[in-house]
A and B are shown apart, each in its own frame.
Chain A
Amino acid sequence: MVVRTITGDAAVAYAAMLARAEVVPGFPITPQTIIIEQITEFINDGLMDADFIPAESEHSVMSVAVGASAGGVRTFTATSSQGLALMYEMLFAAAPSRLPVVMAVANRSLGAASGIWTEHNDSQPVRESGWLQVYVEDNQEALDMTIQAFRIAEDHRVMLPIMVCLDGFILSHVVEGVDIPEQSLVDSFLPKFVPLNVLDPKDPFMINPVTPPEFATEMRYQQDRAVEGSKQVVAEVDEQYAALTGRRYGGLLEEYSMEDAEIALVGVGTWAGIAREAVDQLRAEGKKAGLIKLRFMRPFPGEELRRATAGLKGLGVFDRSAAFNGCGPVFTEIRNALYGSGVPVTDHVAGIGGRDITVEVVREMYDIVERSARGEKVRECTWHALRGEQR
């Protein structure tokens, strides 16, 4: 075990190296760029045995990735924001072709108001692309989940691509102490990739031919069952990784101070770190506050959320992007999952375009949830820390 003080991007690059990714197509985009820079350094220093393919666009990056994965090797790449948008078409080729590509997404706001800072409006809109999605809270989790992502994606019960989403700059560019596991430990956890369907002249095979209506529904249904089935694999992989490293993340979601909680917030990303602080403060004040750190948007833990929120008097959802139905995408998913459960749910949008979320802002969220729990009429969806007259 070696602890290094590194950025979240570097942590992801270490994970790709330790996972022995063999083909890494890449294209620079802030705030992901450090990942591919670090990987090319590993390769050119002889530390990593992989082909780096500097494609001429992100569309081609994902095209190279699906080609390499269909060719039967472990494939890794990384992107952000506009890059993910440019890949959009190819995301929908990777998933139904059942190609377990692992991709880090350093979350960054997409489009105007143009910026390079974090927002989840790049990765949230593609949660219907068939990719699995995990969101991480710190650099250690970024490394651990990138390694775990290969195990989950390449499991023959799953065979789906996966995005490891880390908040841009907040993680991608900020250094933290990260425990970098030994190569032997990672090798014992992550065996060599055994592809199911390979483009190999010895056993001719067609992948993704034009599929008429007589068959397309079944193919899509299999995809849907594979995403659902990946829940079990996520839980198993979390246990096995914990047994080796002592780090357990809870699988699909993590509960914090939820045992006797009456009010709680739920959300993804680095926000959870600030929310923990807010919960601690509220608990010190005698309030029964809890936190659910939602880790996976796909597979979406609907049943698990119903269990975790059973008996709550109020639940708030944190959203770092908008769905333009007045609320955010995580809220839309969670309210759907909790439909009929009787738990009142409100939405709390904050941190757009990389704006800092302070403990005070999170406490504001808890305050609204608490009032809602008391039966007070509150707004269903609140945009927090708005400036000036829009408040």
Chain B
Amino acid sequence: MNRMSSMKDVPREDMLIHGHGACPGCGYAATAKNIAKMLGPNTVVYVPASCLVVFGALYPTSSWKIPYFFTAFENTGAVTAGIKAALRRRGVDATVVGMAGDGGTFDIGLQALSGAAERNEDVIYVCLDNEAYMNTGIQRSSATPFGAWTTTTPVGQVVKGNRSFKKDIARIVADHNVPYVATLSVAHFTDFVRKVQKAKETKGFRFLHCLTPCIPGWRIEPSKGVSINRLAVETGMWTLYEVVNGVPKVTYKPKSIVPVTEYLKLQGRFKHMSEEDILTLQGWLCEKWRAHYGEEPGSPPCPVPVHEEVLAHDGDPLYGI
């Protein structure tokens, strides 16, 4: 079998074929399709509740050319472990992959994910992260970025958008000391191919965290998914790295940090953000840049201006004590 190191090495035969029901421009479908064809025909796929369950197969039709199984939302780590154990016992040497969304991974599936990672189950866990519960209609998950509109973080008169910051799921999985963790983006395709290749040839628990733009959920143009993915890396919203047997390595570093406003302005989900909220997010990104790349991000946009809170005396004699 040939190792894949660039786009020209990717097999031509799709395992998730045309005719599925994803939206035009769907980043989730593009990522799932590319990973599936790179893993090839000797693969079994488990998909928990997610957009992929709905658009990938609807009885009696299916876009999958490989064996496909679905049961519930929160058990990708566990079901894939069971499938792998059975195939191993039957002498079938096939790749078992679970493809879950961010809700099914960061939130409801975290416990089964942790169990499978800790036991070092010999499966590939793909998290297709579109940063909210898109299948149920754009509800906030713990993968939703700060400030983003969703249907459960609405833009109200008082509170506008999501108030918490995206959970660092790849780091949580890496802290289970698994053989391979990587973050992927379809905008950096050579990097993408190499990471899927590494996951494919590694034994034990492998975690691929992929940023997958959602056209209706992010309120973006169908043609803009890849450009937005690229900007996510340039602004620090997404870092491309891998952790091989506990050793982290950045696989692509942008020349300099791009202000987050460049990323936000293309997406309707951020259009309401106040200047203060944008600065808060920018500050978080400047910190993240330092942590991930080990260097000071460029100015501007970093560091962000510090807001001094003016503390008003409220008449309480014990104020300040």
Interface set of A (CB-CB < 8 Å, partner B): 22-23, 25, 51, 53-57, 59-61, 63-73, 75, 89-90, 93, 97, 198-212, 215
Q: For A22, list chain B residues within 8 Å (CB).
A: 86, 89
Complex: A90 Cα to B87 Cα, angstroms? 21
Instruction: Given contacts A68-B83, A199-B44, A212-B59, list 6 more A-B pairs with CB under 8 A.
Output: A64-B79, A68-B86, A202-B92, A206-B68, A209-B53, A209-B58
Give the secondary structure class of B's interface.
mixed
| Interchain residue pairs A-B with the least CB separation, the first 6 | A71-B86, A67-B82, A56-B115, A63-B78, A63-B75, A60-B78
A93 to B75, CA, bound (A): 12
A200–B59 contact, CB under 8 A? no
Residue of A54, A57, A204 near B111 (CB, 8 A) is: A57
Give chain B's interface residue range (CB within 8 Å of chain A).
35 or more
- The answer for the CA separation of A55 and B90 in the assembled complex, in Å, is 21
* Pairwise interchain contact A59-B74, C-beta atoms closer than 8 A: yes
Asked if B18 is an interface residue, CB under 8 A from chain A, the answer is: no
- Write out, one digit per residue, whether chain B residues 38-77 have a CB within 8 A of any chain A CB (1) or not (0): 0001111010000001100111101011111111101101
* Docked-complex contact A64 and B59, CB < 8 angstroms: no
Asked whether any CB of chain A lies closer than 8 Å to the CB of B80, the reply is yes
Contact of B4 with A by CB under 8 A? no
Residues of A with C-beta under 8 A to B65: 204
Q: Is there an interface contact between A90 and B75, defined as CB atoms closer than 8 Å?
A: yes
* B88 / chain A contacts, CB cutoff of 8 Å: 51
Tell me if B5 counts as interface (CB < 8 A to partner A).
Answer: no
Residues from chain B with a CB closer than 8 A to the CB of A57 are 111-112, 115
Chain A CB within 8 A of B249 CB? no
Q: Take A210-B58, A215-B60 as given contacts and tell me if A70 and B83 are in contact as well, using a CB distance cutoff of 8 Å.
A: yes
Let me know if B119 is at the binding interface, CB within 8 A. yes
Q: Are A71 and B66 in contact (CB under 8 A)?
A: no
Give A22's nearest chain B residue, CB to CB. Answer: B89
B-side contacts of A89, CB under 8 Å: 72
Contact check, B78 vs A209: say whether CB atoms are below 8 A apart: no
Q: Could you say which of A97, A201, A207, A212 contacts B58, with CB atoms under 8 Å apart?
A: A212
The CA-CA distance from A66 to B71 in the complex, in Å, is: 9
Residue of B67, B72, B78, B114 near A200 (CB, 8 A) is: B67
B85 interfacial by beta-carbon distance below 8 Å: yes
With a CB–CB cut-off of 8 A, which chain A residues contact B72? 63, 89-90, 93
Bound Cα distance from A25 to B119, whole angstroms: 13
Residues on B with C-beta less than 8 A from A54 are 119
| A210 B86 Cβ-Cβ under 8 A | no
Instruction: Indicate whether B35 reaches chain A with its CB closer than 8 angstroms.
Output: no
Expressed in whole angstroms, the Cα–Cα distance for A59 and B76 within the complex equals 11
Contact A206 B62 (CB under 8 A): yes
Least CB distance from A68 to B in Å reads 4
The one of B46, B89, B94 in contact with A67, judged by C-beta atoms closer than 8 angstroms, is B46
Q: Are B83 and A201 in contact (CB under 8 A)?
A: no
- Separation in Å of the A82 CB from the closest CB of chain B? 16
Q: Tell whether, in the assembled complex, residue B115 and residue A201 are in contact, meaning their CB atoms are under 8 Å apart.
A: no
Q: How far is the CA of A25 from the CA of B115 in the complex (A)?
A: 12
User: Cβ of B70 and Cβ of A210 under 8 Å apart?
Assistant: yes
A93: nearest residue on chain B (CB-CB)?
B71
In the complex, what residues of A have CB within 8 A of residue B32's CB? none
Contacts of B240 in A (CB 8 A): none
A51 close to B79 (CB less than 8 A)? no
* Known contacts A68-B83, A211-B59; A204/B71 CB under 8 A: no
**Which residues of A have CB within 8 Å of B119?**
53-54
CB proximity of A256 to chain B, nearest CB, Å:
41
Question: B72-130: which residues lie under 8 A (CB-CB) from chain A?
Answer: 72, 74-75, 77-90, 92, 94, 111-112, 114-115, 118-119
Shortest distance in angstroms between B67's beta carbon and chain A's nearest beta carbon? 4
Q: Knowing A71-B90, A201-B41, A209-B62 touch, does A64 contact B67 (C-beta < 8 A)?
A: no
Given contacts A56-B111, A199-B44, whether A64 and B85 have CB atoms under 8 Å apart is yes
Q: A22-B89, A51-B85 are in contact. Are A63 and B64 (CB under 8 A)?
A: no
The answer to whether residues A206 and B89 also contact, given A56-B115, A59-B74, A212-B59 and a CB cut-off of 8 A, is no
Is B60's CB under 8 angstroms from A66's CB? no
Residues of A within 8 A of B44 (CB): 71, 199-201
A67-B81 in contact (CB<8A)? yes
26 contacts between A and B (CB under 8 A): A22-B89, A25-B78, A51-B89, A53-B81, A53-B85, A55-B115, A63-B79, A64-B78, A67-B69, A70-B69, A71-B83, A71-B85, A71-B86, A71-B87, A72-B87, A73-B85, A73-B86, A200-B44, A201-B67, A202-B92, A206-B64, A206-B69, A210-B54, A210-B57, A210-B59, A211-B59
